[in-house]
Structure 1
Amino acid sequence: MSTITEVSDSDDEPASGELAGSARPEPRSAQEIFEDIRALAQSDGALHEISSLLYRDWIVTVDLHEAKVVDDPEARWSTSKLNKNELLLLLGLMVQAPTNSTHSVITLNEGFIASADSLLREFHDRLIKDCRSTFDPETGMFTDLPNSVGLVAREAIYYGPEGFYAHQFVNFTRQRYRQDMLWMLRNVGASIRPMLDIAKFVVDRVNAQMTGVGHVRSNGESVSKEDFTNSLIVSKEDIEDRFGARADAFLSRFASPAFDTNHSFDSPFAVNAVALAPLIDLGDFVYVPLQYRLYESIYESPFFWMMADKDYASTHAKNRGDFLEQSASQLLTKVFGKGNVFENVTIERNRRERAGEIDVLVVYGEFVLVAQAKSKRVTLKARAGDAAALTNDFAGAIQDPYEQALDCIDLIRSGGECVSPDGRRIELHKHPRFFPMVILSDTFPASTTLSRTMLKRESGTAPVIWDLGVLDAVTRVLSTPVELLYFLKCRSDVFDKIFSDSEYNYLGYHLGSKLALPDEADFMILERDFATVVDDYMIASDLGLSVSRPVGILERVEIPVISDLLRELKSADPLLASVVIDLYGFSGPALEQLSSAITRIREEIRTTRKEIKALSIPTESGGITYAVVLRRDKKAAEMAEMLGRKHKYDTKSDRWYVILDCVGTDNPVDGLLPLVSTWVEDEEVAKASRDLGSMFKSTFEQPNRRRPEGGHPDSGNS
């Protein structure tokens, strides 16, 4: 029987994918619900009601001194709040109204918000109901209906979390369209930088106005719906005075008329013009309902403009690919250093035949990261639930680059050489440990969820599938090579065992508890509230606040001997990163037991004046011999190495690491030796191992790394 652990820091309504409130009436067809939402969205004063919804669901209160969100956690992560797609649905239908009465008229319609909540909940229930028709509860498997995966994906995509934070759009947009400046000037009337400047001006103005409303409310004063609306509008004249003709170019691309438009938006998954141009033109003012979507549209929309120009499409496609590879390389370089990260690496057979290409290659000691970058978006057909379109999109964005990464790994394992663009041959470890990565320029909605069921993969290391937003956050939070490598390993290990809908949930959980499946569970579900620590940090960055990165449990823990050892190893030769990765895999009690054992051995060496006493323990990748010696000399080092080689051979391990600790120094580590080679049966080595075992009168046993047990010590005076 499987044990499921659902982990959450707060209680809330059922998350996306659950049919909440089974006692509710059977949901109608999606189109029927859509028509009722249309009627509601076009009612008199609807815009002011939507302003109230925005203040209810999209306001985040940040303590500027503490640089953290202070909203109630239960409300903050509530799944009852309307998400971006639901609000865009209301706005997209609102602007279809034949007159301006949606904003020119103010009504006392107290039922709007309740009706909107009810209709949108029914719409979600409809999508979930359609998903359930593809699931066989007796077998626990999806049926073989032609569109099963499409219907599941439709719900997951529509209600899935975002991949980027607002400030990331600003930073990446500048880089993304830098090489397209001339085309933008000729065809749009402004390059990307002034467009971002205008957006920032608009957003800053609205934020200041909303802050003012917040102060009024905090003083206990009442605020009307029209006050909410007034805080969300900016004068066109102010924008034009500041930016001149570029303001017209900006508004023509990112503002939608307030009424009698967007008529082709005739079904829930059709093109919604307001999603592309999220400002609402009210005549002398623009209404700014979703700041996030404004920045997101500036990041996404120019791609469509340029690809529509057949003469320029290929140029922009190259620019877009270069941007992604360079951005991924720069982010990984911040962690691993310039000398360890390479772009556009080719793999050659026999120094002649070009057999493969890696977009970004990271080499750090034994570890090799093979990252394939892809600029593939999810099409509207896939978002609407078309299984064939989804399968095609998933293949182009995730499956194909993943397989390319695996092919490159296989080529390297079979003797292929990695060559940088300047012709230099990149030296890899003889026994590398690989991590495949898929890096996306745009969020592939629900990729975390869909990859578990759609990704066809080989046994062994699972990939990480991150867009630039996630990669940026991960490299900021896990800013050292060892921390990032260990998270990559953990994320790969739990690929099929710990479920969640966002990569930020995995990262947040890892910072607080270390990402691993508890012994008592077969798989686990992480809710969105685990992203809180990451969310606080990134939202502070959105606001331009200076804030320290969150420190994970592995950095906070203080265990005598072990903590000093880990700090020393993390800054040591990259070849020894594996030792830290292996030790990180131990439980807290196991590390404390190891600490006590080393302390006792140190005291014994000081008291008895023995030449050496060593503790050998197995790890996930092989094992470690920790040798405490009386003197730091050649003889001690040779004896420690002999003990390490003995246990490497006896356990048939490919990897074993020897740590030398001399009681006569204050150093945490006095010597380090990686013994990495493919295990091969050898009678001479076996005899030497038996002889050494007899000399030291020791045995070796397999401990449980999650329990406070350890291997037996080797000791002697020779």
Structure 2
Amino acid sequence: MVKQRRKESEVFSDLAKLCASPGYVHAIAYLCFRDNTVEHGDTVTANDILEKLSSDKLIRTEISTLIGLACKGNLNTELPPLDVLNYLISTTDILLKELHQSMMPTMEDIFNPDMLGDKDFNPFNKGALLREPIFYGGESAYHFQHRDLSYLKYHNDNDWFLVKKGFSIQHAIDVVTSIQLLQNVKLNFEMLQLMDKHPDERSFLSAFKFTAEEVSKVANIEISTVRNVLESFVSTDLYEFNSLDDFNPKNAYPIIKLPGEEYLLFQIYSLMQALYETPFFWLHDDKEYRQTAMQHRGEFAEAFSAERLKLVFGANRVFLNVNIYTSKKTLAGEIDVLVVFANRAIVLQAKSKKLTIAARKGNDNVLQDDFKKAVQNAYDQAFLCSDLLIDKNHKLYDNQGNELDIKREFKEIYPFCIISEHYPALSFQARQFLKFNTTEIIKSPFVMDVFLLDVMTEMLQSPLHLLSYINRRTSYGDKIFSTHELTILSHHLKNNLWMDDQYSMMHLEDDLSVELDLAMLTRREGIQGISTPEGILTKYEGTPFDQLIKEINNLEDPSVVDLGFMLLSISSEAIEMLNDGISRIIKLCKEDGQNHSFTQTFIDSDFGLIIHCNNDHPSVAISRLDSHCRLRKYAQKTNSWYGLCIGPNTPKIKLGINLCYKWVHSAEMDELVKDLPTSQNFNGKFNSPTMPSKKKKTGRNDKCPCGSGKKYKRCCSA
């Protein structure tokens, strides 16, 4: 007999009763140690982090629910007998699994037989079905991002903090950081002491306790200031928390005040997130300061996005608050952040909106209204401005009133929608709700929060690498499914995001993000670990391929930028062949002082590349390269062909050719290419027929071995 699934309210009620048990805080302390801490040696490895991603581990939102329920009444901190504690822990695991199952939609919820004939019917945009990914969708940010971005978010409000709260935003950050350091020490100490205690006396609770005096010593801040910070994140008010979607005060105010001088904090992540989110409500409650606070909040998202993009593209390519005017000087649109790199652009619109409690409860109308305010409006503005950007009848002015002198022959424009607040299941909601258009130039939108932008610009710190990832991520759109975007980015860093046309869907599990998690911890927290995941950023470091990409980044020339994007999409086998070819023609040039070339076609990508290596003057070299490329493009019947001319010492690009036009049959060209040597493609072993052997001499009246079709005396020997 199949056991009938209980209602969510019934399971939640049982969980609430369990959390009210005497001494339940000791069960929470154990669960926090079990599921929130990472044990490691001197160096943290990906496997250390991977252990915490098991499906049988509780996520932070689940533990926060336990804390919220336990603190509804009087908190009893007496340690229960071991058998009682074990019962509390095991029953908690059982009820939370059952609670998760009760939230999962049934097949009847998903597939309504009465609606199957309606082509517009989409059960996944219903609030009832979105509740589960909203609650269980995982974290959108690393804990240290909440801490570090708090300063940037509130530093303009610092005077208000000093006057109204008795501490600066930097004081708050230092106190929170010190609590983390203090708890790490205490957890390690408890681990050492645990085995010496009788089983009935074992508990991790003391590791999560601290006093203002202890924090003051670690932070080197006056104890009165420390108390002001701690008390600001303590709430003693009675509250209603009767369902999973109700507001849980222990998320906004996670520090628990114990009798005497002690405080209790179970999850440092919750405090760092509260540091990022809760102060805004203090500012908003001050009616006289509210408007200023709102202005600073909006400015933060724009300024932060601009600074992160400057890290990749340079300050000269990133423009903040660009106004678009008609010829009659009428304001037609405003771009929060504009990035221009060669013939590519990013049009970024930022919003500071949160998902409301009513939306979390599954209210369809509120859910879609929240999304409209947070994302849809930002996208609509981004698309409008992208369209205006293409129209040269509109003029662009920066925030100082200066007209922007930029080239506007764009091949691709990427609309960005940036959210500055934690927005649960953002990518999943964008998949369901966002209505967007695309053109040949304006691509699909990229919806993200400031935390993802922060990580993307940290790991992909070159224009080509970042734009290449953006291109593929937005092109694949709904074909890639993951609980959060960091998993997709991590997969790209390891494997070069690519999806064959024969596949309609790619599902990525959360454990793929561990290398990225480790890299960010290493970079931002200073732990001993690998700072760059092994993959696309490390595999070819220092090779001719790597040098070519760096050269293309520096040139910012549309004629070679397109080639850069193509090169970042090719297979590892093709890259190895390219490295071999470049190395060989450079070596030959050094040995005989003659001009040499290398031809490579990329069958799956429908393009080809010719590289000439010589010391010729650019005026001579470009004519020869152009002729060679046109002949080879025609012979291969491709729509795109690229040419580069490099010097004989390093793969430093002297000039580039970009031939992108539809192949058309020509009798004249048939005659010119009939004796053209066969080009090399990446499926074969490298043995370029376009490079003359050092031993074989070429007569002056023979056809040039570079493949241009001209006599040797009028080509590479000239």
Q: Do both proteins adopt the same fold according to a TM-score greater than 0.5, normalized to the shorter chain?
A: yes
1:498 — aligned with what?
480
Residue 553 of structure 1 pairs with residue 529 of structure 2: no
d(CA) in 1 for partners of 2:602 and 2:385? Answer: 31
1:14 — aligned with what?
none
Correspondence for 1:458 among 429, 437, 450:
437
SS at 1:81's partner residue?
coil
1:4 — aligned with what?
none
1:569 — aligned with what?
552
Aligned residues: 680
d(CA) in 1 for partners of 2:210 and 2:33? Answer: 17
Mean CA deviation greater in 182-191 or 355-364: 182-191
Q: What's the offset of the Cα at 1:147?
A: 9.0
d(CA) in 1 for partners of 2:118 and 2:684? Answer: 35
2:80 — aligned with what?
106
For residues 629-640 of structure 1, the aligned pairs below 5 Å read 632-633=616-617, 634-640=619-625
Check whether the contact 1:365–1:429 (CA below 8 A) recurs between aligned residues.
no
SS at 1:49's partner residue?
helix
Change (3 A) 1:693 1:546: farther
Q: What's the offset of the Cα at 1:712?
A: 10
Residue 245 of structure 1 pairs with residue 201 of structure 2: no
For residues 87-126 of structure 1, the aligned pairs below 5 Å read 87-97=63-73, 99-100=74-75, 102-104=76-78, 106-108=80-82, 109=84, 110-126=86-102
Change (3 A) 1:630 1:175: closer
d(CA) in 1 for partners of 2:388 and 2:638? Answer: 24
Q: What's the offset of the Cα at 1:530?
A: 0.7
Change (3 A) 1:191 1:616: same
Deviations 1:83-124 (A, max 9, x none): 122111111111122x44x31353331211111111111111
Structure 2 gaps of 5+ residues are: 691-706
Correspondence for 2:131 among 154, 160, 175:
154
d(CA) in 2 for partners of 1:80 and 1:406? Answer: 43
Check whether the contact 2:518–2:530 (CA below 8 A) recurs between aligned residues.
no
Q: What's the offset of the Cα at 1:331?
A: 1.0
d(CA) in 2 for partners of 1:653 and 1:430? Answer: 24
Check whether the contact 2:68–2:249 (CA below 8 A) recurs between aligned residues.
yes
Check whether the contact 1:48–1:226 (CA below 8 A) recurs between aligned residues.
no
Q: What's the offset of the Cα at 1:707?
A: 9.2
Residue 531 of structure 1 pairs with residue 513 of structure 2: yes
Amino acid aligned to 2:418: I
Check whether the contact 1:622–1:655 (CA below 8 A) recurs between aligned residues.
yes
2:650 — aligned with what?
667
Amino acid aligned to 1:201: S
2:567 — aligned with what?
583
1:59 — aligned with what?
37
Correspondence for 1:269 among 242, 245, 258:
245
Correspondence for 1:361 among 338, 358, 383:
338
Q: What's the offset of the Cα at 1:125?
A: 0.6
Residue 35 of structure 1 pairs with residue 13 of structure 2: yes
For residues 333-352 of structure 1, the aligned pairs below 5 Å read 333-350=310-327, 352=329
For residues 216-231 of structure 1, the aligned pairs below 5 Å read 216=193, 227-231=203-207
Deviations 1:462-510 (A, max 9, x none): 2222222221122111122222122112211222211111111111111
Amino acid aligned to 1:591: I
Q: What's the offset of the Cα at 1:333?
A: 0.9
Check whether the contact 1:605–1:628 (CA below 8 A) recurs between aligned residues.
no
Amino acid aligned to 1:43: S
Deviations 1:368-396 (A, max 9, x none): 11111111111111111111111111122
Residue 657 of structure 1 pairs with residue 634 of structure 2: no
Amino acid aligned to 2:398: S
Check whether the contact 1:46–1:103 (CA below 8 A) recurs between aligned residues.
yes
Change (3 A) 1:381 1:676: farther
Change (3 A) 1:184 1:606: closer
Check whether the contact 2:335–2:385 (CA below 8 A) recurs between aligned residues.
yes
1:330 — aligned with what?
307
Correspondence for 1:71 among 48, 54, 57:
48
Correspondence for 1:311 among 274, 279, 288:
288
Q: What's the offset of the Cα at 1:55?
A: 1.2
1:198 — aligned with what?
175
Correspondence for 2:708 among 710, 715, 718:
715
Deviations 1:55-106 (A, max 9, x none): 111111243x424455373x32112211122111111111122x44x31353
Q: What's the offset of the Cα at 1:183?
A: 2.6
Deviations 1:168-191 (A, max 9, x none): 122111111112123333433333
2:56 — aligned with what?
80
Change (3 A) 1:599 1:87: closer
Check whether the contact 1:49–1:225 (CA below 8 A) recurs between aligned residues.
no
Change (3 A) 1:626 1:351: farther
Change (3 A) 1:595 1:177: closer
Q: What's the offset of the Cα at 1:320?
A: 0.6
TM-score for both structures, normalised by structure 2: 0.85
2:23 — aligned with what?
45
Check whether the contact 2:606–2:638 (CA below 8 A) recurs between aligned residues.
yes
d(CA) in 1 for partners of 2:614 and 2:231? Answer: 78
Correspondence for 1:404 among 372, 381, 384:
381
Amino acid aligned to 2:333: G
Higher relative CO (Cα under 8 Å, sequence separation at least 6) belongs to 1
Change (3 A) 1:715 1:680: closer
Amino acid aligned to 1:516: W
Q: What's the offset of the Cα at 1:443?
A: 2.1
Check whether the contact 2:678–2:689 (CA below 8 A) recurs between aligned residues.
yes
Deviations 1:129-150 (A, max 9, x none): 3586134599699994899521
Deviations 1:390-436 (A, max 9, x none): 11111222222122212111111222333212213140342332122
1:628 — aligned with what?
612
d(CA) in 1 for partners of 2:122 and 2:594? Answer: 72
Change (3 A) 1:541 1:612: closer
2:191 — aligned with what?
214
Correspondence for 1:510 among 484, 487, 492:
492
d(CA) in 2 for partners of 1:306 and 1:464? Answer: 31
2:425 — aligned with what?
446
d(CA) in 2 for partners of 1:289 and 1:536? Answer: 23
Structure 1 gaps of 5+ residues are: 1-22
Check whether the contact 2:38–2:49 (CA below 8 A) recurs between aligned residues.
no
Check whether the contact 1:370–1:437 (CA below 8 A) recurs between aligned residues.
yes
d(CA) in 1 for partners of 2:659 and 2:290? Answer: 49
For residues 350-429 of structure 1, the aligned pairs below 5 Å read 350=327, 352-415=329-392, 416-422=394-400, 423-429=402-408
SS at 1:501's partner residue?
coil
Check whether the contact 1:618–1:711 (CA below 8 A) recurs between aligned residues.
no
Check whether the contact 1:590–1:709 (CA below 8 A) recurs between aligned residues.
no
Q: What's the offset of the Cα at 1:316?
A: 0.9
Deviations 1:558-617 (A, max 9, x none): 497545534443444454333221111111233345556667888999999997766374
SS at 1:327's partner residue?
helix
Q: Percent identity?
A: 26
Check whether the contact 1:587–1:706 (CA below 8 A) recurs between aligned residues.
no
Q: What's the offset of the Cα at 1:236?
A: 4.0
d(CA) in 1 for partners of 2:209 and 2:230? Answer: 14
Mean CA deviation greater in 637-646 or 367-376: 637-646
